[in-house]
């Protein structure tokens, strides 16, 4: 190998140039970090469908487009609608329970939720016509974010194997960076497709169950916020065994107290407990979770990540949380011991 001073200077110069380019690219991408994080989620959520389609149809561009249009768009639409309805019901609950002080925390999101009411939207446009330009500008940026999301997800679906192949060719199959990223990729796929699918399935089952219970509820007692309760119950699946019970048991106790204190029938609180335990709790835990959810990341750590990350960074924290949790776990499990130890063996030896 040529190690002359001239060669070393060239490597240093190229290294500095690469560092500068990397910093500039990172600066540009940081402006769209939320959209990029959502794109990564969309990529992992739709990758199984894309790869099944790609195995049958030899047209990557068409396969990626069809996957995003047929799976990605409905998925983001359902998530977006669910968040809006959930926030709207939470705002109504805080308002009705005289918890006005807590509504200020939700104010940025409540304004978005109010847009789901067409009459309210017309009132806002009529009363705040001078601010219409700001509304149009905000809408433009959200549309542009959606464009970035689907653009990044499209190229990740189409070229992920090329990117992985470039890493392996450049560093070698057994290089620590390759092993580290492969482990991160496996866990992110399991979390995004597994745990989030479990939350989604549980939420859907809970919401349908609670709306069905309201159809037969006696007068004077019902489930006040079925969508919000179903959403919270779904999120509760992040805590194994007891997570959902922390949500529906106190609410069932509230229904029981309302029936007893108001002289109402007791069969509805009992029906709530039985239906929730059998249909919402048992079915997802024994069937849905066994098919969809797996992986080596602690559910406790995932719950902490899902709780703190959105508060720290904003709306896209719900999608960023799994990435941070997986990177932290893999670094602590495989990289840190090598840094503080003698460094022998590498990630392959330690990880197997």
- Would the pTM count as exceeding 0.85? no
184-231 pLDDT, tens digit per residue, is 898 888 888 777 777 788 888 999 999 999 998 888 788 888 888 888
Q: How far is CA 107 from the centre of its chain?
A: 21
Domain spans in the chain, listed from the N-terminal domain onward = 11-79+117-171, 175-352
For the stretch 114-123, pLDDT in tens is 444 444 544 5
d(CA 352, CA 151): 36
Q: Are the C-beta atoms of residues 212 and 250 closer than 8 Å to each other?
A: no
- 230-257 pLDDT, tens digit per residue, is 888 887 776 666 678 888 888 888 888 8
Say which residues have a Cβ less than 8 Å from residue 236's Cβ, sequence separation at least 6.
Answer: 243, 244, 245, 246, 247
C-alpha closest to that of 303 among 253, 255, 244: 244
The per-residue pLDDT for range 289-326, each reduced to its tens digit, is 656 555 567 777 877 887 788 888 887 888 888 899 89
């Amino acid at each position: 190998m040529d190690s002359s001073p001239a060669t070393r200077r060239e490597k240093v110069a190229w290294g500095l140039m690469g560092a500068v380019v990397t910093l500039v690219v990172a600066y540009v991408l940081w402006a769209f970090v939320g959209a990029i994080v959502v794109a990564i989620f969309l990529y992992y959520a739709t990758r199984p469908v894309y790869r099944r389609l790609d195995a049958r149809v030899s047209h990557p561009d068409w396969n990626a487009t069809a996957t995003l249009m047929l799976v990605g768009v409905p998925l983001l639409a359902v998530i977006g609608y669910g968040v809006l309805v959930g926030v709207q019901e939470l705002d109504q609950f805080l308002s009705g329970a005289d918890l006005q002080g807590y509504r200020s925390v939700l104010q940025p999101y409540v304004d978005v939720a109010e847009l789901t009411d067409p009459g309210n939207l017309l009132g806002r446009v009529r009363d705040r016509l001078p601010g219409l330009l700001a509304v149009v500008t905000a809408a433009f940026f959200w549309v542009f974010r959606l464009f970035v999301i689907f653009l990044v997800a499209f190229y990740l679906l189409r070229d992920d194997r090329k990117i992985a192949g470039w890493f392996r060719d450049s560093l070698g199959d057994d290089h620590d960076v390759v092993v580290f990223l492969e482990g991160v990729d496996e866990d992110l796929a399991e979390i995004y497709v597994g745990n989030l699918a479990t939350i989604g399935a549980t939420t859907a089952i809970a919401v349908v169950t609670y709306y069905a219970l309201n159809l037969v509820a006696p007068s004077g007692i019902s489930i006040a916020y079925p969508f919000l309760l179903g959403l919270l119950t779904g999120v509760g699946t992040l805590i194994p065994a007891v997570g959902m019970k922390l949500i529906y048991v106190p609410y069932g106790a509230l229904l029981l107290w309302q029936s007893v204190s108001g002289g109402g029938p007791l069969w509805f609180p009992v029906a709530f407990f039985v239906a929730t335990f059998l249909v919402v709790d048992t079915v997802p835990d024994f069937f849905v979770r066994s098919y969809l959810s797996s992986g080596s990341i602690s559910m406790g750590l995932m719950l902490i990540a899902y709780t703190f990350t959105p508060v720290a960074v904003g709306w896209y924290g719900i999608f960023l949380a799994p990435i941070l949790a997986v990177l932290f776990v893999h670094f602590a499990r495989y990289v840190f011991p090598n840094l503080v130890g003698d460094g022998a063996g590498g990630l392959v030896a330690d990880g197997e």
